[in-house]
Amino acid sequence: MSIQWFPGHMAKARREIEERLKIIDIVIELVDGRAPFASKNPMFDDMIKNKPRLIVITKKDLADQKRVDQWMKYYRSLGYLAISVNLKNFNDYKTIIQLCQEALKEKMEKERARGLKPRPVRAMVVGIPNVGKSTFINRLASRKATITGNRPGVTKAQQIIRVNNDFELFDTPGVLWPKFENETVARNIALIGSIKSTILPLDELIIYALEYLEKHYPGSLNDRYQMGTIDFDGDWIEEAFTKIAQSRHLKKVNGETDYDRVIEIVLKDLLDAAIAKVTWEVIEDYGFHA
């Protein structure tokens, strides 16, 4: 499967990022703790090249902490600085700034030795849509410096935000790559709200999610929907959807289970982490090791 799409504002954002990188000291790349691999845009590697980079795994409060830690160790093993944060209770801003300054200590000392005037560290924040860039920047700046929203594409233009006298942030719109060659990546991106869920067949997306939850988070579906015992190795789909509908007291449509409404309910619960704190990627499944 190959899903091709590339809105005009994303193509423009990519060009602007590449141009602005010339004056940037370090890149802060945000990835989502619910999909730490799928939410890492491979285009950034080509664009950023050898520029120092800090990977911030966001939304760890919605994710599986054990798996978040594994992915953080994996990125550190590749030579990146890496940290995980809860954007709702974010007290790590000093650590973020210190990590960036420590990574650039040698460069800044060389500039001073050459007689250059001291200046703030310039950091660029990048990431795909809906990984929490605007919230992250607002927390770091201790004020509402950007517009936030729980939907992709809120930030439309680049902004410069002064955090303090020694640190500046360059905000950028969320940027996706032109097409998804891997169906699992596309599904995981949809399950964290980084692309419109309508791009994929919603029934297939929810079936994939329910199977994953039953395999990796057994009992979570029953806790949420009182589904009882369901044989997920058999013909389970109709039974599961019917029991979810019953748990939410949904009226039938022409005598049949309202599948569309069930899909809406489950998708919202997944995005809100109401069923379980889920990370949709098992590091070993990708052939990696923490």
Instruction: Give per-residue pLDDT as tens, 225-275.
Output: 999 888 888 889 999 999 999 999 999 999 999 999 999 999 999 999 999
Pairing relation of β-strands 3-4 and 179-180?
Answer: antiparallel
Query: Where in the chain does DSSP place strands (E)?
Result: 3-4, 26-32, 53-58, 81-84, 121-126, 159-164, 167-171, 179-180
The pLDDT value recorded for residue 37 is: 95
Is a pLDDT exceeding 90 seen at residue 143?
Answer: no
Q: How many CB atoms lie within 10 A of CB 159?
A: 17
Model confidence pLDDT, tens digit, residues 108-142: 999 999 998 888 999 999 999 999 998 898 888 87
* 67-92 mean pLDDT: 92
- 211 and 114 share a domain? no
The pLDDT value recorded for residue 183 is: 86
The pLDDT value recorded for residue 146 is: 46
Q: Are 179 and 29 in contact (CB under 8 A)?
A: no
Model confidence pLDDT, tens digit, residues 168-207: 998 887 888 767 778 898 899 999 999 877 778 899 999 9
For 206, the domain range is 201-282
Q: What is the CATH number of the domain that holds 252?
A: 1.10.1580.10
**Is the residue at 288 inside a domain?**
no
User: Average pLDDT over the chain, rounded to whole?
Assistant: 87
The pLDDT value recorded for residue 145 is: 53
Q: Are 178 and 5 in contact (CB under 8 A)?
A: yes
Burial class of residue 143, CB neighbours in 10 A (0-12, 13-18, 19+): exposed
Residues in the chain: 290
**Is the residue at 262 inside a domain?**
yes
Rounded Cα gap, residues 71 and 281, in angstroms: 9
- Share above pLDDT 90 across residues of the chain, in percent, rounded to a whole number: 59
- 155 and 98 share a domain? yes
The pLDDT value recorded for residue 174 is: 80
Stronger pLDDT, 143 or 251, i.e. the higher one: 251
Is a pLDDT exceeding 50 seen at residue 156?
Answer: no
Stronger pLDDT, 159 or 187, i.e. the higher one: 187
- 66 and 122 share a domain? yes
- What Å distances lie between residue 79 and 27, 52, 161, 260, CA to CA? 14, 10, 27, 45
3-state SS class at 190: helix
**Is the residue at 35 inside a domain?**
yes
Q: Are 24 and 172 in contact (CB under 8 A)?
A: no
- 156 and 18 share a domain? yes
Q: What is the CATH number of the domain that holds 61?
A: 3.40.50.300
Is a pLDDT exceeding 70 seen at residue 216?
Answer: yes
Rounded Cα gap, residues 269 and 210, in angstroms: 12
